Amino acid sequence: DGGITQSPKYLFRKEGQNVTLSCEQNLNHDAMYWYRQDPGQGLRLIYYSQIVNDFQKGDIAEGYSVSREKKESFPLTVTSAQKNPTAFYLCASSIGRQGAQPQHFGDGTRLSIL
Amino acid sequence: DAKTTQPTSMDCAEGRAANLPCNHSTISGNEYVYWYRQIHSQGPQYIIHGLKNNETNEMASLIITEDRKSSTLILPHATLRDTAVYYCIVRAYSNYQLIWGAGTKLIIKP
């Protein structure tokens, strides 16, 4: 079945540590996205990528980094510069950046600080 | 800021139709209306989207008013598994950005 796989489901970070969240899709989608969700809130865009080797900052990119070396993969690194990293992180993909086709989401990674 | 307004919460009896309203009074001509839902601790699930005409799929129906300033998502026969937060979002055809509000918490009661 086609879909978006995020791993791990739960992740714990120590102070000052970088952690990387995985996102893989087998939908052959060009565009991929990372969102952050805090309790009781809607999603906020961190980064997005239209094609391989290209990505753009979203509304809250500070303290995060991404790479897009393969079409299927869009990992997100939460760096030590992100002072409030505890949140639910969601990866999404769509056929293209533009157009009416919707974004589809993975099941998320919940990151907590030890 | 989100460009839509939704009630904070709603209840519906199991087996009845759930009608979720959404106001998008500033919608532009090239903006689509999308509906997603999020069950606790899961990723959002796409439900349906539309531009002008009413739309129906296996999950729901979307009714958009003629002036496009509001819409209603209809779940025809609600089940307990439909309990979730439902998000109404407007997005332009040429824009990637989904602006998320707080959504409507729908509780289906037995």
Q: pLDDT of chain A along its 114 residues, tens only?
A: 669 999 999 999 888 899 999 999 999 999 999 999 998 888 999 999 999 999 999 999 999 999 999 999 999 999 988 889 999 999 999 987 667 788 999 999 999 988
Classify the C-alpha dihedral B24-A105-A64-B97 as positive or negative: negative
Mean pLDDT, chain B, rounded, equals 92
Instruction: Read off the pLDDT band of B75 (50, 70, 90).
Output: very high
For B90, the closest chain A residue by CA position comes to A100
Tally A–B CB contacts below 8 A: 54
Give yes or no for residue B92 having a pLDDT over 80.
no
For B48, the closest chain A residue by CA position comes to A102
Quick: pLDDT tens for B29-55: 888 999 999 998 899 999 999 999 899
DSSP calls for A3-51: -EEEE-SEEEE-TT--EEEEEEE-S--SEEEEEEE-TT--EEEEEEESS
- B105-109 average pLDDT score: 97
Classify the C-alpha dihedral B19-B22-B23-B29 as positive or negative: negative
CB contact under 8 A, B100 and A105: no
Interchain contact B65–A (C-beta under 8 A):
no
Give yes or no for residue B1 having a pLDDT over 70.
no
Is residue A23 a contact partner of residue A74, using CB atoms and an 8 Å limit? yes
Q: Which residues in chain B touch residue A4, judged by CB atoms under 8 angstroms apart?
A: 43
Minimum-distance CB partner of A102 among B49, B95, B102: B49
Give yes or no for residue B93 having a pLDDT over 80.
no
Interchain contact B103–A (C-beta under 8 A):
yes
Give yes or no for residue B94 having a pLDDT over 80.
no
Minimum-distance CB partner of B97 among A45, A100, A110: A45
